[in-house]
């Protein structure tokens, strides 16, 4: 078992792009386009799970941990929806950008440069977000175990990643990186993509039970991401701590 889950090459890669986190036309443009469907999915499922009626601040009183938070693209909307937010990332540059942006907007988010196994936390969280991060870590089992340890019993963990299929190679790497230039070449490594079955098996080993899994497809004509029954490229899943 590895002593940590940090993949230094991956951290260096995203650190080099860190200045562009909040530029909707920069290197993280695909994530900016991706954000609305992620927020909607998380919001709907948390409201359902916790029977929340407050539509303005649905995450009030919920402790939320955003793992691999980058510059805070998802962390900030979660905070604005009322959550008590902690964002962690193994890149110091990412955390610095996230802190500056939060301070500028007067958002009280607790940003820490850490990986889940190294996080010194006196509390467990109601919600953990592992969004577009599991395909960038070393020792996925240890990463999920460390994440699960930080989640309260009956809490929810959201995991979004990319399936390991021929279609995902064609779309997420050849299409997105080489043809459409949505992402810098080398952003993804197909061999680190994770099949839903593998993810489910690893999560079950770490006290996490699958409660929902949906595909996410990009609609070229509408220029937006949508939920789909097909999970052969991007997918998002919800696990409950048992």
| 179-216 residues labelled b (16+ CB within 10 A) or e (exposed) | eeebbeeebbeeebbbbbeebbebbeebbbebeeebbb
DSSP 8-state secondary structure symbol assigned to residue 78:
H
| Whole-number Å distance between alpha carbons of 105 and 108 | 9
pLDDT for 86 equals 98
Domains by residue range for the chain, with CATH: 8-241 (3.40.50.150)
Q: What are residue 63's phi and psi, to 5 degrees?
A: -85, 120
What number is the average pLDDT over the span 202-222?
96
Given a contact cutoff of 8 angstroms between Cβ atoms, the answer to whether 176 and 182 are in contact is: yes
**How confident is the model over 159-176, as pLDDT tens digits?**
999 999 999 999 899 988
First to last CA, the chain: 24
pLDDT for 186 equals 83
Alpha-carbon distance values, 1 to 16, 79, 138, 173, 206 (Å)? 28, 34, 10, 29, 15
What's the mean per-residue pLDDT of the chain?
Answer: 94
| Whole-number Å distance between alpha carbons of 198 and 186 | 23
Q: What number of H helices and E strands is found in the chain?
A: 7, 8
What number is the average pLDDT over the span 177-182?
78
Statement: residue 198 has pLDDT above 80: yes
Going by pLDDT thresholds of 50, 70 and 90, the confidence category of residue 195 is very high
**How confident is the model over 7-37, as pLDDT tens digits?**
999 999 999 989 999 999 998 999 999 999 9
Q: What are residue 83's phi and psi, to 5 degrees?
A: -70, 155
Crossing angle for the helix pair 196-205 and 140-149, to the nearest 10 degrees: 50
What number is the average pLDDT over the span 176-182?
79
Going by pLDDT thresholds of 50, 70 and 90, the confidence category of residue 3 is low
Statement: residue 155 has pLDDT above 70: yes
**How confident is the model over 76-99, as pLDDT tens digits?**
999 999 999 999 999 999 999 999
Longest CA–CA separation in the chain, Å = 47
pLDDT for 103 equals 97
Statement: residue 113 has pLDDT above 50: yes
Given a contact cutoff of 8 angstroms between Cβ atoms, the answer to whether 68 and 98 are in contact is: no
**How confident is the model over 29-68, as pLDDT tens digits?**
999 999 999 999 999 999 999 999 888 899 999 999 999 9
Q: Which strand (E) or helix (H) includes residue 209?
A: strand 208-219
pLDDT for 217 equals 95
- Give the CA count within 13 Å in the CB-facing half-sphere of 191: 2
| Whole-number Å distance between alpha carbons of 78 and 28 | 19
pLDDT for 220 equals 85
């Amino acid at each position: 078992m590895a002593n940590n889950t940090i993949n230094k090459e991956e951290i260096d890669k995203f650190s080099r792009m860190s200045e562009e986190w909040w530029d909707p036309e920069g290197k993280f443009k695909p994530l900016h386009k991706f954000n609305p469907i992620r927020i909607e999915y998380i919001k709907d499922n948390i409201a359902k799970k916790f029977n929340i009626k407050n539509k303005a601040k649905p995450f009030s009183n919920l402790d939320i941990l955003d793992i691999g938070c980058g510059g805070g693209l998802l962390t900030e909307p979660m905070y604005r929806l009322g959550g008590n937010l902690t964002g962690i990332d193994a890149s110091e540059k990412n955390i610095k950008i996230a802190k500056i942006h939060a301070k500028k907007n007067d958002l009280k988010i607790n940003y820490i440069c850490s990986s889940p196994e190294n996080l010194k936390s006196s509390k467990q969280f109601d919600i953990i977000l592992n969004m577009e991060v599991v395909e960038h870590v070393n020792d996925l089992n240890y990463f999920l175990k460390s994440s699960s340890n930080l989640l309260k019993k009956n809490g929810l963990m959201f995991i979004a990643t990319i399936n390991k299929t021929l279609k995902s190679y064609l779309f997420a790497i050849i299409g997105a990186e080489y043809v459409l230039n949505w992402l810098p070449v080398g952003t993804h490594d197909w061999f680190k993509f994770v099949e839903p079955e593998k993810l489910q098996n690893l999560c079950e080993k770490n006290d996490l039970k699958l409660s929902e899994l949906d595909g996410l497809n990009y609609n070229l004509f509408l220029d937006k991401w949508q939920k789909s029954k097909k999970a052969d490229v991007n997918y998002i899943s919800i696990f409950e701590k048992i």
